[in-house]
Amino acid sequence: MARADLHERLREARALREAQQRVRVRRNVTRRDGARYEVDGRWRVGFCGNDYLGLAQQFGVVAALQDAAARDGVGSTASHLVCGHHAVHEALEREIAEWLEYPRGLLMGSGFLANLAVVQSLLGNDDICVQDRLNHASLIDAARLADCRLRRYPHADAEGALRQLRSVPDGAAMLATDGVFSMDGDIAPLRALMLAARMQQALVYVDDAHGVGVLGPSGRGSVAFSGLGPADVPLQLVTLGKALGGYGAVLVGDETVIGHLAETARPYVYSTAIPPAQAAASLAAVKIARREEWRRVKLRESIVRLRTSAAAHGLELLPSDTPIQPFVCGSEARALAYAQALDDAGYWVAAIRPPTVPEGGARLRITVSALHSPAEIDGLIDTLSRARDRLGDAPVAAPAA
């Protein structure tokens, strides 16, 4: 019996993606200036990045990175547990834990690594991890790699989460959810989920990649926005690469859980620590995000402006009060056509297609930043409206999760 030809399999997979219009192409940014990007020799206004507070190029953040690089170099040289843990890493962990009012923080290389670390380190094959069907791929992969029992409930359905928790009455249990869902922009019903978890003695873990910095008092995220705290949500993920404009992630929780992760989580133990200069930049960004409330005020005003303008033009966006404002197109072809029309007019909005979103749910994932001007927002919506009229079709409702 002959083995399968791996290259032939890859060629067939590529041909299928081409037929389904799901080929993904990288575009090279040659320069960036705030919300504007130079790509292929042309400047475009970007409405698809996650720099919600406009901190990625903020001069104080950039200066912190440059100063730390001049002092400490470009790399940490080792994992945190060998000789790669610098004072600035410790300072960043403390700052974020204090901001979110948790006892302790743990700096990770990325949000993806952090999710792998949490589930693999805390759960085993006798345990259960219950998750929202629209959770980020890293949470799904984490449960699969942990070899625990993965159960998924309908999107934002706390009663469904409770049923899934009850389906496996033995072993340890974790209820894991995004705080803000990255493709729909809605906020998880955290209070109801917390109550369901409490009834089943399950630990609640919230990946708040798109909530921290944006929602809640002082930008403390979806957990604080929901009126909850460490007693309700014992473990939380803060991504440094979204509203904070940098790279990496920090887990916050109590001493017992964070201490266990620091000593046992494979993505932490066996990864080189992020560069001290990057940690210094994120530390500066956190301090700015905490004190400059005007950034969140401007962001909220821009979200309202975009939604109001879209409604006035008869453009239906998914319900969302966050910077993520999806415009569902339905088919891949329609999403690509809308994205191309916007690109031709000088706006960069990526077409998001399955498997990132459900079948039939291809969309434009429009994201708003504090950097956007009213004129740029109005121009985007006007262009999208004209594209809709020219293409002769209307967006379809999102498929059920």
Q: Is 86 annotated as a binding residue?
A: no
Ligand-binding site membership of 136 (annotated): yes
Calculate the alpha carbon distances from 390 to 358, 385, 393 in Å: 26, 9, 8
- 24 appears as a binding residue in the annotation: yes
- C-beta separation of 224 from 100 below 8 A: yes
Give the C-alpha separation, 55 to 77, whole Å: 27
8 A C-beta contact, residue 176 and residue 117: no
Helix (H) or strand (E) holding 150: strand 149-153
150 contacts 175 by C-beta, under 8 angstroms: no
The burial class, CB within 10 Å (0-12 / 13-18 / 19+), for 360 is middle
Distance of CA 178 to the CA centre of its chain: 8
For residues 283 and 358, the answer to whether their CB atoms sit within 8 Å is no
CB 23 within 8 A of CB 351: no
**Contact status, residue 285 vs residue 65, Cβ threshold 8 Å:** no
Distance, CA of 8 to chain centre: 34
The answer to whether the annotation marks 111 as part of a ligand binding site is yes
Cis geometry, peptide bond prior to residue 355 (ω within 30 degrees of 0)? yes
* Eight-class DSSP state of 181: -
3 state DSSP class of 128: strand
Q: Is 218 annotated as a binding residue?
A: no
Residue 89 marked ligand-binding: no
Map residue 99 onto helix, strand or coil.
helix
CA 202 vs CA 104, 156, 178, 179: distances in Å: 21, 17, 16, 17
278 neighbors 236 (Cβ within 8 angstroms):
no
Q: How do strand 36-39 and strand 203-207 relate by DSSP bridges?
A: unpaired
Binding-site residue ranges for pyridoxal 5'-phosphate: 111-112, 182, 210, 239
Binding-site residue ranges for substrate: 24, 136, 356
Binding-site residue ranges: 24, 111-112, 136, 182, 210, 239, 356
